[in-house]
Amino acid sequence: MGARTLKKWMLSPPLRNTNQILRRQEIIEFFINRQDTAEALRDQLNNVYDIERITTRLSANRCNGRDLIWLKNSTATFPTIKYMLSNCGNPPLITELAEAFDDLGDITDLIEMAIEDEPPVTITEGGLIKIGYNNEVDELKTIKDNSRQILLRIETEQKNLTGISNLKVKFNKVFGYYIEISNAHKNKVPDNYIRKQTLVNAERFIIPELKELEEKKSSTLTQGWLGWNMSFSVRYVQKYPRVLTDSGNPQGLYQR
């Protein structure tokens, strides 16, 4: 944490403002004289990941769940860092820095509320969003986890409704969901059944409930992810500038 900032310092022109130079020297002197405080802060900063890189990936929609967990784990250390700076018998200058230090607790809470603690590597694997955060994603998970039970329920209901004991509810990638009825029972097909395909020995039909299920399964993944992404991203982007401002993360302490 801070390696990139130190590199910029070495490659950029040195400070020329006397007040800024004295300000930096005062902070350095304090931590040289208080090695216990310096070591304690160093231990906390070791838990902070490369926030600048993570937030850049997030703003470019190239992040994954683990990036968000790393960001959460980083910001989760900020309250401790702020407390240590505020309560280490520090000079007024460091007190001023501590008061300006934004611990980003709302960002920590947002990620904690939305993202699973052990998310998959890619966002397409599923299992990224916690139950209860986004209704569309919850609906997708319900359909995905219970699709077999849903089809069995529909099949049982249609068998009872039509009296066709060998009625089958099936799915394939070409035709989606359908009800298959043998030619021997074609005369029992209800009027609300819509013919989808004719076979040699059977007919395949669709009903509104299956059509709705098919549309949800094909579109909820996209809509649910976009719904979550919009919900999360809008809330995060509103906070994003604070993550990289001088007072919004530990790098700000180095730069002051």
Confidence of residue 199 (pLDDT cuts 50, 70, 90): very high
- Classify 135-217 by CATH class: mainly alpha
Q: Name the nearest CA neighbour of 105 among 67, 74, 128.
A: 74
In the numeric block, which tokens belong to residue 4?
């990139």
Whether 205 contacts 193, CB under 8 Å? yes
pLDDT digits (tens, 9 = 90+) for 25-44: 888 888 899 899 899 999 99
- For residues 222 and 141, give the distance between their C-alpha atoms in angstroms, rounded to a whole number: 13
Task: Output the pLDDT for position 246.
Answer: 41
Q: Name the nearest CA neighbour of 140 among 149, 127, 155, 153.
A: 127
Number of Cβ within a 10 Å radius of residue 68: 24
Residue-averaged pLDDT of the chain: 80
In the numeric block, which tokens belong to residue 14?
């040195």
Torsion of CA 36, 42, 43, 47, to 10 degrees: 160
Q: What is the pTM of this model?
A: 0.68
Whether 115 contacts 128, CB under 8 Å? yes
- For residues 109 and 76, give the distance between their C-alpha atoms in angstroms, rounded to a whole number: 9
The residue extents of the domains of the chain are 3-132+227-255, 135-217
Domain 3-132+227-255 fold:
MutS, DNA mismatch repair protein; Chain A, domain 3 (1.10.1420)
Q: Do domains 3-132+227-255 and 135-217 have the same CATH topology?
A: yes
Which whole number is the average pLDDT over 96-101? Answer: 82
